[in-house]
Chains A and B, each alone.
Chain A
Amino acid sequence: MNLVSGRPLAVIAKVIFVSIALAILGLLAISAFTAGEIAIAAFLALSMIAIAWVYFTNVSVPLKFFLPGIIFLIGFVVVPILYTIVMSGFQYRTGNYISKPEALERVQALGVVQDESMTTYDVTVGRLENGELALLATDYLAGTYFISDSDSKVEIASTDVELNEFEVAVSAPGFEALPPDELAAMDSELSSLRFYSEDSYYLVLEGFEVASLYTQVLEYDAASDSLTNIQTGDVFKDNGRGNYANINNSEDVLIPGWRAPIWFENYAKLFSDPKVREPLVAVFIWTVTFAFLTVLTQFAFGLLLALALNKAIRGRRIYRIILILPYAIPSIMSILVWAGMFNTEFGAINALLGQQIAWFLDPNFARAAVIVVNLWLGFPYFYLVSSGSLQAIPADYSEAAAIDGASPRQIFWQITLPLLLKILTPLLIASFAFNFNNFNLIYLLTGGGPRATLDGEIAGATDILISYTYQIAFGSNVQDLGLASAISVVIFVIVAAISLYGVKKSKVLDEFV
C-alpha cells in the first residue's frame, strides 16, 4: 500500500492538513461521545477513517476532492432531513419529549406519596458491620433513634448513640458513618436506595443529612406494561400515543409522556384538523404568491437596470458599484433598517409620504412592505446575472432584426427576453425555491404578523410556511415538534420538486447522467 507519495513538500503539507482535520474530528467525536451522542460520534469516527483512507492511499483521486463535500452533505443535509422525516411520524411535543424508558422511570419516581405528617428525619449515612449501607436516624419528636437498612429497622437506646453539636446521632454500636468523600462518591447508589421503615413506608435520602418517609403508590407490571395505583385501583396502560392512560378514562394520563410513533397522523392533521388546515392553506397561498412576486419584481427591476446600463453611458462604473451595494450589506442589517423605516410614527417612509400608515398592522400593507424590502435585497443579484447574460447574447441578432425593421421594443420582447429567459430560467426557479424558505426576512421584518392573536390565530398575514412551522415548533409554551417536522417535510418535498425542475431545465447534470 502506497501510504505516502509525492514530493516532500506536498507530503508534509498533506500530512499537516490531514492531521489537523483528523484532530478536529477526533475532538468533536470525543465531545459527542461524552455527551452521549453515540450516532454523531460514530459518524465522526467513520469520517476520520474515510479521510485517512482516502488521503493516505491512492484508492481514488476524485474522492480526494469530493470527500469533504460528501461528509458535509451527509452531516448537514442528509442526516437532518432523515431525522426530520422520522420525527414527523412521532408524537413529539411538550409532554411527550423524552424516551419511553426515561418516561417510565419518571412516572415511577413521581408515583410515590409522602406520609401524611410529611415526616423527615435527620440521618447519618453509614455501614453496618456486615458492610450493608444503613441510616442512623434521629427522631426529635419522639426522642428516639433507630438504624434502618434495606429490610429492617432497629431502635437504638439513647445511651448507645453519640450526638453531634446539633443533637443528631452520628454513631452507634455496629454502625460506622461514611466519610465525606465516600458519601459523594457513592451518591448515585445512595439516591436510589430505599431504607426500610414500617408497613409499606420506606426512607429515601433528601440530601446526605435528611431522609423522608414515602410509600410507592404506582406499581409497574412489566409483563402487561401497565401501572396500577394501589390506593385507587386505577390501571394505566400504554395508549399507543406516548402516555400511560387510565383504562377507564382516556383523558386521565400520567406525566411525563414519551415520544411515540403515530406514523402519518401528523400529516393527516394537516388536512383533517381545521385549526391546522385553515391557516396552513392561507399560509401556503401567500408563500407561493410571495415567492412568485419576489422573483418577478427582483428580475424585472434587475433586468431594467441591466438594460439601462448595458449601453455605454457616462459614469456607468459608478452606477454599477452603487447598484451592487445593497447586495454587499448583510441582509440582517438591511432588514432591520427597513423595519425602522416602515415604523408608523418615526419611519422615513411615512415621513416621505406624509402619512401615518401602520405598515405592520394591516395585512396588505405588511405584505407590500415584505415585497418591497425583498426587492431591495434581491434586485442586485438579478442585475448582475442579467448584465452578464445580456453581454452573452450576440449583438448580431438585434442588429439583423433592426435591419429588417424591428423596433427596439420588438427586439426586446421577441429576441432579447426569450434568449435571456432561456439562460436565466434555472436561476429564476432557484430564486423561487430560495424565497419559498426565506425565513430571515419574515422573522426579522414582520415576525409573520400581523395576526389576530386574540382570535387565537397562530399564522400571521405575512407568515410563510417556514415561519409558520417555527411558530408551531417554538412559538409558544406548547411546542409541537412532530407536527412542525411534518410541515417541514412537506416544504422539503415542494422545494425539492422545484429544484429538481430547475436542475432538469438547466440540464447541468446532463454530463453526469
Chain B
Amino acid sequence: MNSKKIVSLAAALGVVASSLLGATPAMAEDKVITVWADETRGPALSKALGSLADQTEGEWATGYKIKVVSYSSFDALKEALDKATANTGPDVVIGANDWVATGVKNGKVAPLTLPASVRANYTAGALTDLSYQGKLYGIPISMNNTAMLVNTKLTGGKKPATFAEMVDFYTKNKTSKKLSAGLCVAGGGMSFGAIGVLNALGGAPYATDSKGAVLTTKDPIDVTAMTANVKKYLLDSKGKSTGFFPADSTGCKDNFLAGKVPYAVIGNWEWKDYVAKGFNMNNLVSVPGMTKTTFGKSFASVSGAMLTTYAETNGNATGAKSFLNNFFGSATGVVLYARHEQRPPAHKAASGAVSDGAKAFSRTGNQAGMPQIGDILGNSAGGKNFWDALPAYWTAVLIEGKDVAAETKKLNTLFKKNVAEGSKSLK
C-alpha cells in the first residue's frame, strides 16, 4: 500500500472515529431525574425548577438535578410514553388521571406510597383519581375542569340561572346580535368539555351517589328526561338543530372572543386568554341545569406526576420518589409551580398562592364537579368509549337529525355496558 492510500484510509477512519467519539455520550457529572410533560405543564415546571445549569444539586432530591422534557401536546406526550422503552423512558411523567389504568396494564407506571404528612395535603378524591386497584401511582398536581364563561357585555350583565334562560336569550337575540351560537364548547372538546351540557340535560357517563361512588346498576342517563330536554332546548319543531348548541367545538373560542356567542365552556388551562381579552373570571359559572338550584356537572379530576417503571430501570427510582414528595408534595414546591400554571393546584396548602382565575375554576369545580373515572370512561365494552361516544351523540342528534329518543337510548345502553365492565377493576 503506498503512502497516498494510507493517507486516504487514515483520513476516512479519522472522520469516522471522530464522529463516533463525538456521538459517545459524555460522562454525566450530575445524576438527573427526567420528567416528561406536555406543552403547558412542561414549560411551567421548567420555569419553577430552573434550567439544569441554574439548579442546585439535591435541591429537590438528594444528589439529583431535574430535567424537564416538554412535548408539543398532550397527545404527543401520551404517544411518546406509549413508545418509550427501558432506555428511553422518563422517571416521572405528568399526565391525566385516566392514564393510570392503561399505564398499569402496560407496565408503564409504578406504585408509590406517600408519607402521611404528604397525603394529608390532598383530598381523598384527588388521591383516588390517581389510584388503581388500591394502589397510588402518582402525586396530584392540579385540577382539570371546565366551566361556563358568560359574556356579560352581550347579556347585559345577567348570568343565567337555568338552561332555559340561556336558550331564551339566544332565541330572542340571535338575529339582532348576530349570534353564531348560544352555548358552545371552547375548551376540552365535545366530550370532556361538553359533559356539563350532557349532565344539565339529564345524562352522565355513570350514575353516582352523593359521595361520588359509581352506581353500576342505575341508568347513567334518564332517557325520557334527556330526550325531552334535547328536543325542547336544542332542536326546533322539525327536529333540526336551532344552532343554540353546535355539535362541533371548532371556532367556538374565536366566536366567543369576538362577541358572537354569549356562553362558552372553557378549560381552566386557558383562562388567561380570556382575561387578556377583557373577560372577567367572576362571570365563570357552572352550566345551569333545568331548575335554579341545579347545575350540569363537569369532570373535576386531577392531573398527576406519576412515577414510571422506567425510573427503576434508569436507576433513579428512589430519587424520583424523593423528588415527588419534596417538590409536588410540599407547599413550597407547589407554590413555585403554581406561579406558572393556570390550573388550580391540588395541594391544599398551596391554595393561598392561587390566582383569581384558578380560584374561579375551583369554585365551579366544588359546586358541580364529578369524578373522572378513567377505567369506565376509557372502556369500550358498549362498542365505543365515552370519549368517542358523546361527540357521536351530538353529531347524530344535532347534525344528522336522527331520532333523539333512539339515539339517547343507544347512548345510555352503551354507557351502561361500559360502566358494568369498567367498574370491575374498581373493586
Which residues of chain A have a CB within 8 Å of any CB of chain B?
3-4, 8, 11-12, 15-16, 18-20, 22-24, 26-27, 30-31, 34-37, 56, 94-95, 97-98, 102-103, 106, 109-110, 114, 118, 120, 122, 180-185, 187-188, 190-191, 205-210, 212, 255-257, 344, 358, 361, 453-457, 476-478
Q: Does B5 contact A (CB under 8 A)?
A: yes
Pairwise interchain contact A95-B105, C-beta atoms closer than 8 A: yes
Please tell me if B19 contacts chain A, counting CB pairs below 8 Å. yes
Q: Select B317's contact among A8, A187, A344, beta carbons within 8 Å.
A: A187
Report yes or no: B107 in contact with A207, Cβ–Cβ below 8 A. no
Q: Tell me whether B355 is interfacial, beta carbon within 8 Å.
A: no
Neighbour of A94 across the interface among B15, B105, B396, CB < 8 A: B105
> Is B8 interfacial (CB-CB < 8 Å)?
yes
* Contact assessment for B11 and A19 in the assembled complex, using a CB-CB cutoff below 8 Å: yes
B414 touches A454 (CB 8 A): yes
Q: Say whether B212 faces chain A, with CB atoms less than 8 Å apart.
A: no
Q: Report yes or no: A477 in contact with B16, Cβ–Cβ below 8 A.
A: no
Q: Is the CB of A476 within 8 A of B384?
A: yes
B8, B24, B325, B387: which contacts A209 (Cβ < 8 A)?
B325
Binds A, one of B46-54, B168-176, B308-316: B308-316
Shortest Cβ distance from A255 into B: residue:
B105
| A106→B309 contact, CB < 8 A | yes
Min Cβ gap A493→B in Å is 27
B312 touches A191 (CB 8 A): yes
B interface residues with partner A (beta carbon < 8 Å): 1, 4-5, 8-9, 11-12, 15-16, 18-20, 23-25, 31, 57-58, 61-64, 85-88, 102, 104-107, 110-116, 119, 135, 309, 312, 315-319, 321-322, 324-326, 378-380, 382-385, 387-389, 392-393, 395-396, 399-400, 407, 410-411, 414
Cα–Cα, bound, A212→B24 (Å): 39
User: Which chain B positions have C-beta within 8 A of A15?
Assistant: 8-9, 11-12
- A112–B426 Cα distance when bound, in Å, is 18
Closest chain B residue to A477, Cβ basis: B378
What is the CA–CA distance of A256 and B119 in the complex, to the nearest angstrom?
Answer: 27
List B contacts of A122 (CB < 8 A): 115
Chain B residues closer than 8 Å to A180, beta-carbon distance = 57-58, 62-63
Could you jot down 21 A-B contacts, CB within 8 Å? A3-B5, A8-B4, A15-B11, A18-B12, A23-B16, A35-B85, A109-B110, A109-B111, A110-B135, A118-B119, A180-B57, A180-B58, A184-B62, A207-B321, A209-B62, A358-B399, A361-B395, A453-B389, A456-B382, A477-B385, A478-B378
Complex formed: what's the CA distance from A184 to B319 in Å?
7
A228 to chain B, nearest CB (A): 19
Separation of A123 and B412 alpha carbons in the complex (Å): 52
By the criterion CB–CB under 8 Å, are B31 and A185 in contact? yes
Q: Which residue of A lies closest to B31 (CB)?
A: A184
Considering the chains assembled together, what is the distance between the CA atoms of A12 and B392 in angstroms? Answer: 64
- Given contacts A454-B392, A454-B407, A208 and B318 within 8 Å (CB-CB): yes
Given A30-B20, A31-B23, A456-B414: A256 and B104 interface contact (C-beta under 8 Å)? yes
A115 to B325, CA, bound (A): 20
Contact between A206 and B113 (Cβ–Cβ < 8 Å)? yes
Q: Compute how far the CA of A183 lies from the CA of B16 in the bound complex, rounded to whole angstroms.
A: 38
Which residues of A lie under 8 Å from residue B387 when comparing CB positions? 477
Q: Contacts of A255 on B, CB cut-off 8 Å? A: 104-105
A377 to B388, CA, bound (A): 31
Query: Which of B87, B312, B316, B411 has a CB less than 8 Å from the CB of A454?
Result: B411
Whether A210 and B325, one on each chain, are in contact in the complex, defined by CB atoms closer than 8 angstroms, is yes
5 more CB-based (< 8 A) A-B contacts, given A118-B116, A454-B411? A36-B85, A97-B107, A454-B384, A454-B393, A476-B380
Using A361-B399, A454-B396 as known contacts, say yes or no to A94 and B325 having CB atoms under 8 A apart. no
Nearest chain A CB to B286 CB, angstrom units? 27
The reply to whether B325 and A207 contact each other, CB–CB distance below 8 Å, is yes
Q: Taking each of B5, B312, B384, B400, which has the highest tally of chain A beta carbons within 10 Å of its own beta carbon? A: B384
Instruction: Give, as a whole number of angstroms, the nearest-CB distance from A194 to chain B.
Output: 13
Complex partner residue of A23 from B20, B110, B380, CB under 8 angstroms: B20
Shortest Cβ distance from A256 into B: residue: B107
Give CA–CA (A453, B400) in the complex, Å.
13
User: Is there contact, CB below 8 Å, between B61 and A208?
Assistant: yes
Query: A26 to chain B: which residues have CB within 8 Å?
Result: 16, 19-20, 23
A97 touches B318 (CB 8 A): no
- Evaluate contact between A30 and B24: CB separation under 8 angstroms: yes
In this complex, what residue of A is CB-closest to B135?
Answer: A110
A35 touches B64 (CB 8 A): no
* Cα distance, A387 to B25, chains bound together (Å): 56
- Indicate which residue in A191, A209, A212, A478 contacts B380 across the interface (CB closer than 8 Å): A478
Most buried by A among B85, B114, B115, B382: B115
- Closest partner residue, chain A, to B32 (CB atom): A184
The answer on a CB contact under 8 Å between B319 and A187 is yes
Contact (Cβ within 8 A) A34 B25: yes
Q: Which one of B119, B317, B385 contacts A191 once the chains associate, using CB atoms below 8 Å?
A: B317
Contact yes or no, B23 A30, CB < 8 A? yes
Query: A456 contacts B384, CB within 8 Å?
Result: yes
Distance (whole angstroms) from the CB of A36 to the closest CB of chain B: 4
| Residues of the A chain whose Cβ atoms lie less than 8 Å from the Cβ of B392 | 453-454
Q: Are A208 and B62 in contact (CB under 8 A)?
A: yes
Q: Are A114 and B113 in contact (CB under 8 A)?
A: yes
Which single member of B5, B15, B102, B385 contacts A19 (CB below 8 Å)? B15
Tell me if B318 and A187 are in contact (CB < 8 A).
yes
Q: In the complex, A34→B135 CA distance in Å?
A: 32
